[in-house]
Structure 1
């Protein structure tokens, strides 16, 4: 927890964190990359001001919510002494690098994780009551609502819904509910909650769906298998979840825990784990699958694995592994570990030095008559906009992103602009949009004698729209 607090209050925003924060400053029905719920909530917490605390406050709120649900499970898994089950669950969960990282930074995943465990809890309470002869469908509809919120957070929340459907089919004691209209009505409630996303896409030519189905893969649906992608995916899963929990997962698959709530939760957790893992595994054969795409697969397993991992040495290795990764991430809040090794990790390095860049941009705005500030990539634009507290900073890039829906090029023809670029996202593409592009200065960021990151500021004279753009 100390490492999480340090990262929260010290590490500058990652590019995507700043990007999503700026979404919250521009409320809309939905957004290009993701559904809108997370952005809406960031817009609400921005009332606390622009600070690292307000930026990451939501991650702490959803973490506490997740741990509270784990407590409710611990009271059912170990009624006589819930603390003896809950504390190992918390340790197991937070020592997984995947969940340490994704419950600290404010990507959409922290909210999705909480909604996954909250949905599962509502469904398990319903199943518990149904098996006892009580037809209390309110918990089933609550599960449908929270499921709807999870898909309104991130599209892979739909994998949770598929896992729930499989649960009704394979868990005999609740199979009879499929002969009633209630599970279908609850599913319709969750689907109806996607109306804002559908409305936005109807008005924007189904841009989000096109992006995720084809555009992000080069404009077409990939059909050629790539075995290397599968191996990379498995290695990433092993390292990010922790190699020391997978034997316990296999043990949970082979054998129930032997208590009613535990075995009911086991079936649900394995249904969701199976659907999500199978889907992402198949995808990895054709496209690059990031480790966190399968994030819905594991959180429900954590409270159950706490009762499966019996060997002290396995616990010790898992905790040591998690603490080591947490320590490396903590060091990277001051200087990227890769920099100390003589290599450059752009994702981490590009988070440093933006207050200095923002100060120079503000000073240069006073020296030049400019119409707008732009950047050559969406992460750069987000970092500049966040540091300047200016949601009007835009990007001009060949990559389709949310800024395309905020920036109206025709309104800026003839204007001069300040352009922020770096060595990864240079000015080759953006240069065609100006009569002249002049390098004004570089703003290198150094720490402990190491050069970490060097963004550049250009003056673009005479903005124009290329004929073929």
Structure 2
């Protein structure tokens, strides 16, 4: 890169061979994580969505479930069929990064591309969330692709108002599909609108029909979500905007959830990324319209999303990974203003340590057990090779058909490992099972009930005349008991009103 470019961006390129070596190591770790780590509880839950296709779902929009259902039909119920969609979307994400590198650093695109990918993969959350099939793998790919297309069109329009509008409509379609994957894509949509409104060179778009037609295209992609919510009393929107939080708006501050969000966000994305997170907001001049518009779009997305999550974290639990789009956009534009090579290497080294820990914990044994810590949350991923044969044996011996878990995630895991979609969730907590009418089995019938430390056995007991313990066993890994399971026989089902259960178990602040 020319000296003027380096002076303007303050960016020093790193040795190519070192970057290639680190990238190869990270990709090997990613392949290992894909093939050898246990299926996460929510992965199994989302796999079940793919077996029961619908307009949308209680927890999230439907596109990821549709993709998982298609992959399962083609490749079967196995780790390849489950996680191949994440491999494909990560390949798409790499391609988008390459497009950004070519536009931002045309003379040093290879080096800047490698920087983006290495920093991205060394962020523990982005590494994992583009490997497992939570909705984020698809949302991130679509949002980054949409960001590129919006940036490209806006930059061209700023220089030539008669530029081709095809890229604008492609951007709108990609944004709509991202919204059809996860609601967090709305932050990018809001940011696009704010970029247009706050930029003198882009405000003329408001006098033309294309920006509004593009908006309609984005909105049209969300029609399945709107149909589902209209049919189900806006349940999904209410969940994300209200029901999942312990406090009402303006009621006070939940210091615990607030602190956990800040700490876990910094730790699991990479503490060294806090420096560029501040740096991207710092005013500076950019050499091209593409860089100027792209950074502005990233800045607004980062500020709006993280500000809202900070506010919501003061009301109740907000998971750190909800900020993944903000960090992904940060990394895309970080090579423009990153000044210190040591910071990149520090991020890479700490990231590899976290990733190695994750590989050990999720593929072999929860590492925290060696330090006397409770590994229950991770432990629920293990032992299904022991649970399923016991369940099948009891079903066969007792001659009964129905089986369920005492929480939606254990019900999802049962469904995945038994490879059947007619599994019940006997817990009080609302889940997608409510909308499949798979909370109560038919009156008078019997069922097996699989329970673990996270489950809601009390509500399960209410659904049967009698609930008898058949078997209790521990899942032991390398001498450590990581979890226990209980299998019950529920006899003479007595269905209960789950609408009443939802009221009884509502947070106290809402009673």
Deviates more, 1:69-78 or 1:201-210: 201-210
User: Counterparts of 1:320-469 in structure 2 under 5 Å?
Assistant: 320-332=349-361, 333-407=363-437, 412-466=442-496
Instruction: Give unpaired runs (5+ residues) of structure 1.
Output: none
Between the aligned partners of 2:178 and 2:262, the Cα distance in structure 1 is 25
Indicate conservation of the 8 Å contact 1:280/1:289, yes or no: yes
| Cα 1:52–1:285 shift into 2, 3 Å | same
Distance in 1 between residues matched to 2:61 and 2:433, nearest whole Å = 15
Whether 2:225 is the aligned partner of 1:197: answer yes
2:170 is the counterpart of 1:170: no
Residue of structure 2 in register with 1:263 after alignment: 292
Q: What secondary structure sits across from 1:390 in the alignment?
A: coil
- 1:259-316 Cα offsets, whole Å, 9 max, x none, are 2122221111111111111211221222221101222212122122124333232122
* Aligned-partner Cα distance in 2 for 1:62–1:45: 13
Deviation at 1:318? 0.6
Task: Select 1:208's aligned residue among 228, 232, 236.
Answer: 236
Q: Are residue 27 (structure 1) and residue 53 (structure 2) matched?
A: yes
- Match of residue 59 from structure 1: 86
Displacement of 1:410 in angstroms is 6.7
SS in 2 for 1:412: coil
Deviation at 1:227, TM superposition (A): 4.0
Partner Cα separation in structure 2 for residue 396 and residue 97 of structure 1:
34
Instruction: Report the Cα distance in structure 1 between the residues aligned to 2:437 and 2:387, rounded to whole angstroms.
Output: 22
Q: Distance between the aligned counterparts of 2:440 and 2:416, measured in 1?
A: 25
TM-score between the two structures when normalised by the length of structure 1: 0.96
Cα distance change of structure 1 residues 432 and 162 upon mapping to structure 2, 3 Å threshold:
same
Deviation of 1:409 after TM superposition, in Å, equals 6.1
Instruction: Deviation per CA, 1:361-411: give whole Å up to 9, x if none.
Output: 111111113231011001111111111111111111110001112235676
Distance in 1, Cα, partners of 2:250 & 2:79: 39
Matched, 1:86 2:113: yes
- Please say if residues 424 and 439 of structure 2, whose CA atoms lie closer than 8 Å, have aligned partners that are also in contact: no
Structure 2 residue 250 is the aligned partner of structure 1 residue 238: no
- Are 2:63 and 1:41 aligned? no
Q: Distance in 1 between matches of 2:178 and 2:277?
A: 24
**Deviation of residue 132 (structure 1)?**
2.8
Q: Normalising by structure 2, report the TM-score.
A: 0.88
Cα RMSD for the two superposed structures: 1.8
Alpha-carbon shift at residue 457 of structure 1 (Å): 0.8
After TM superposition, give the deviation of residue 218 of structure 1 in Å.
5.6
Q: Which residue of 2 aligns with 1:304?
A: 333
Please state whether the residue corresponding to 1:158 is helix, strand or coil: helix
Determine helix, strand or coil for the equivalent of 2:458: coil
Q: 2-side partners of 1:277 and 1:452: how far apart?
A: 35
Aligned partner (choices 143, 148, 151) of residue 116 of structure 1: 143
Q: Following the alignment from structure 2 to structure 1, what is the Cα–Cα distance between the partners of residues 272 and 222?
A: 38
Instruction: Look up the match of 1:136.
Output: 164
Partner of 2:504: none
Partner secondary structure for residue 143 of structure 1:
helix
* Deviations 1:204-246, CA, capped at 9 Å, x for gaps: 2222122223332369667322344333322222112212122
Matched pairs, number: 469
- Mapped to 2, the partners of 1:409 and 1:225 lie a distance apart of 34
Q: Secondary structure at the match of 2:280?
A: helix
Quote the Cα distance in structure 2 between the aligned partners of 1:429 and 1:458: 13
Instruction: Say which SS state the counterpart of residue 403 (structure 2) adopts.
Output: strand
Rounded to whole Å, the distance in 1 between the matches of 2:315 and 2:245 is: 10
Report the secondary structure of 1:299's partner residue: helix
| 1:139 CA drift (Å) | 1.2
CA contact (8 A) 1:256 1:266 kept: no
CA offset digits 1:394-450 (Å, max 9, x no partner): 111110001112235676111110000012215222111111111111232212111
How much does 1:9 deviate?
0.9
Shift of residue 342 of structure 1? Answer: 1.7
* Residues 8 and 56, structure 1, Cα contact 8 Å, conserved in 2: yes
